[in-house]
Amino acid sequence: MLHVEAIPALKDNYIWALVRDTACVVVDPGEAAPILAWLQDTGTRLAAVLVTHHHRDHVGGIRELVDRFPVPVYGPAKESIAEVTHPVAEGQVVALPDLGAELRVLEVPGHTRGHVAYYGHGHLFCGDTLFGCGCGRLFEGSPEEMHASLARLAALPEDTRVCCAHEYTLDNIAFALQIEPANPELAARARRDRARRRRGEPTLPSDIATEKATNPFLRCGEAAVVRSAQAHAGQDLRREADVFRVVREMKDRFRQ
C-alpha cells in the first residue's frame, strides 16, 4: 500500500514522503538531516525527489541527498533549480516505478512564476500554493494567476488529501475568522485543529472539501468574503479575482 508521511523540517516546513514497502519519494526537501534520520529509522530507500518551486526552504537539502543517493530529481521546467535532472511541465505524468505510482503535474503560478503541484493517488502535493485555510504570498505571480491556480486545485475531487509545505493553519484560521466570523464549519475547524496542535499533531493533510468550506481564498464568491473585502477596499468588487487580491493584501498585513 502507498502511504504518505509528513517529516517536520526547519521551523514549520513539512517534507512529504510517499512510501511503498521500503521505497520512498520525498517532496520539497528543504533540509537533508530530517530525511536522512527518517530513512535510517525506517529502513526506507530514497527513490526520487520531487520539487514544487525554487525557494531555499524547499530545495536546500537536495544536494546533500543526491550526493548520497544518485536519484532523479523532478522539478518545474520554468524555474532554475540546479539539482533538477527531470524538468516537468503542465500535463506531464511523473512515473515512480519503485512506488508503482504516477503523479500528474499541474502548473500553479502565483507564489512563484513556475510553481508546480503533483496530483495522484488521492493526494495533492501543492508546495506553497495552497495552505491549510490559506494560500501562499504572491512573490512573483499576479493575483489573477494565483486565483486561477487555486480554482484549479479547488476543482479536484473533494476527498483529495492536501499536502501543504508549511504548518501555518492556526494563523490562517485566525485570519479567516476575521473574514467569515459566522462560518460554522470554520469555527469547527478552529476547535479541531487547535486540539491537534495541543496534542503535538500536524493539522495536515487537509482535504479539498474542508478547504472549500473554510479557506477564504477559495471562497471569493461567497457573500461574507465579498463583504469583508469590499469593506476593506471601500469599493464594490465585481470580480472574484479582485476579491482575492484584496483578501490577500489583508492577510499580508494581518497580525494576531
Measured distance between the N- and C-terminal CA atoms of the chain, rounded to whole angstroms: 41
Active-site residue, 111 included:
yes
- Whether the predicted pLDDT of 239 surpasses 80: yes
Q: What is the pLDDT of residues 123-143, one digit of tens each?
A: 999 999 999 999 999 999 999
Q: With contact defined as beta carbons under 8 Å apart, do 57 and 13 qualify? A: yes
Contacts of residue 21, Cβ cutoff 8 Å, sequence gap at least 6 = none
Q: Supply the pLDDT for residue 255.
A: 82
Q: With contact defined as beta carbons under 8 Å apart, do 105 and 118 qualify? A: yes
Active-site residue, 55 included:
yes
> Average pLDDT in the 49-71 region?
98
Which of these, 99, 104, 135, 134, lies nearest to 117 by C-alpha position? 104
Q: Supply the pLDDT for residue 11.
A: 94
CATH of the domain at 112: 3.60.15.10
Catalytic, out of 28, 53, 123, 171: 53
Within 45-179, residue ranges assigned H as helices are 56-59, 62-68, 143-154, 169-179
Q: In whole numbers, what is the pLDDT of the chain averaged over residues?
A: 97
Residues 128, 208, 161, 97, CA torsion sign:
negative
- How many helices (H) and strands (E) the chain has is answered by 9, 14
> Average pLDDT in the 65-83 region?
97
Active-site residue, 58 included:
yes
Catalytic, out of 28, 98, 166, 193: 166
Catalytic, out of 128, 171, 193, 207: 128
**Domain residue limits at 123:** 2-252
Cα–Cα distance measured from residue 103 to residue 98, given in angstroms and rounded to the nearest whole number: 13
Query: Alpha-carbon dihedral of residues 252, 220, 6, 138, nearest 10 degrees?
Result: -40
Q: What's this model's pTM, rounded to 2 decimal places?
A: 0.96
Catalytic, out of 54, 58, 123, 147: 58
Q: Assign 1 a pLDDT band (cuts: 50, 70, 90).
A: confident
Active-site residue, 166 included:
yes
Catalytic, out of 57, 98, 171, 242: 57
> Average pLDDT in the 11-24 region?
97
Domain count, the chain: 1
Active-site residue, 53 included:
yes
Catalytic, out of 54, 55, 115, 147: 55
Cα–Cα distance measured from residue 75 to residue 169, given in angstroms and rounded to the nearest whole number: 26
